Amino acid sequence: MQTPYSAKELARLGLERATLPRHVAIIMDGNGRWAQRRGLPRVEGHRRGVQSVRAVIEESCRLGLKQLTLYCLSAENWKRPKAELDVLMLLLEQYLIAERREIMEENIRFTTIGRRDPLPKNVLKEIDESVRLSAGNTGLTLCLAVNYGSRSEITDAVRKLAAEVQAGRLDPDDITEETISQWLYTAGMPEPDLLIRTAGEMRVSNFLLWQISYAELYVTPCLWPDFTVEEYRNALRDYAKRERRFGGLNS
C-alpha cells in the first residue's frame, strides 16, 4: 500500500495539502502519436499508456485526492479501425483483472461513467466485478470514462427528466441545476477542480462539459505515454497558483 505523503514530504515536492484539488480529471491523449513517432503500431502507444495510468493513480493515492477521473474511451472513438478498438477492449479487460488486487490494497473505490451498450460482455463483467468488490472502499475514487460523451450524458439526463415530468412526479418549475446534476452519470461525485489534457490539444473533446464549468485547465505538450509523476506534480503546482473566484471577486 502507498504511504500517504506527510506535510514535510509535500513541502519538499513544492506542494501543500490545502491547495491540492479534490478531483482531478485527465484527457489522456497522444498514445497513437507516441507510437507513430517511434515507428510502432498505434496499439503500442496504448499499451505504454497503461504505465502512465498506473503511476498517476499511485501518486493520487499518496496525495490523498478524493477522486481521479480518466477519459479512457470516448463515444466518438468507435470510428477508429476495428483492430485498434479490439486491442483497446483487450487492454481494458486485462487492466481490470491485473489491477484489481492493487485497487483493493490501496482502498480505491472503482467506478465508471458512460453508456454500457456497445461494450463487450467480458469487459462489462470485469467492470462490474471491480465495482462490486471495491464498493466499500473509502480512499481515492477512481472513475474511468468508457464509451463516454458529455452530450450523450446530458441527452440521457434530459430524457429521464422529461419522463419524470410526463409521469407527474416532477414539476418543470422545480428543475434546477442541482436537479440536472442528479441525473447525470456523475451524480454524487464532486465536480473536477482541475482538468489536465496531454499532447498539447486545446480542446475538451466532449468531456464532462457540464461538470468542468469552473475547473482549472492545464494543457501539456507531453504525450500521454511520456506523462510522468513529475509532470503530474507540475500540473498540481500550477493549479495551486490559480486564483479561483467562481465568477465572484476575492476580498
Cell for 249? 471577486
Strands 194-197, 23-27: parallel, antiparallel or unpaired by DSSP? Answer: parallel
Q: Which of 79, 49, 80, 20 is nearest to 199 (CA)?
A: 49
| Mean of pLDDT values over 102-127 | 96
User: Is 55 domain-assigned?
Assistant: yes
| Mean of pLDDT values over 153-174 | 97
Residue 247 corresponds to which amino acid?
Answer: G
The catalytic residue among 31, 77, 107, 173 is 77
pLDDT in tens, 9-63: 999 999 999 999 999 999 999 999 999 999 999 999 999 999 999 999 999 999 9
Q: Which residue has the higher pLDDT, 188 or 117?
A: 188
Task: Indicate if 29 belongs to the active site.
Answer: yes
In order, the DSSP letters of 131-167 are: HHHHTT--S-EEEEEEEE-HHHHHHHHHHHHHHHHHT
Burial category of 151 from C-beta neighbours within 10 Å (exposed 0-12, middle 13-18, buried 19 and up): exposed
In order, the DSSP letters of 65-130 are: -SEEEEEEEEGGGGGS-HHHHHHHHHHHHHHHHHTHHHHHHTTPEEEEES--TTS-HHHHHHHHHH
Q: How many domains does the chain have?
A: 1
User: Is 28 domain-assigned?
Assistant: yes
Write down the pLDDT at residue 87: 87
Burial 44-75 (b: 16+ CB within 10 A, else e): bbbbbbbebbebbbebbbbbebbbbbbbbbbb
User: Is 116 domain-assigned?
Assistant: yes
Angle between helices 82-98 and 121-134 (to 10 degrees): 30
The catalytic residue among 29, 31, 147, 193 is 29
At 145, phi and psi to the nearest 5? -90, 105
User: Is 8 domain-assigned?
Assistant: no
Domain range for residue 102? 18-149+190-240
pLDDT in tens, 172-187: 999 999 999 999 999 9
Cα–Cα distance measured from residue 10 to residue 64, given in angstroms and rounded to the nearest whole number = 11
Write down the pLDDT at residue 78: 81
User: Is 37 domain-assigned?
Assistant: yes
| Mean of pLDDT values over 73-88 | 85
User: Is 182 domain-assigned?
Assistant: no
Write down the pLDDT at residue 33: 96
Write down the pLDDT at residue 246: 60
Could you tell me the CA-to-CA distances from 220 to 104, 226, 228 in Å, in that order? 31, 11, 12
CATH code (residue 22): 3.40.1180.10
Cell for 146? 468508457
DSSP 8-state assignment for residue 212: T
Task: Indicate if 147 belongs to the active site.
Answer: no
User: Is 115 domain-assigned?
Assistant: yes
User: Is 101 domain-assigned?
Assistant: yes
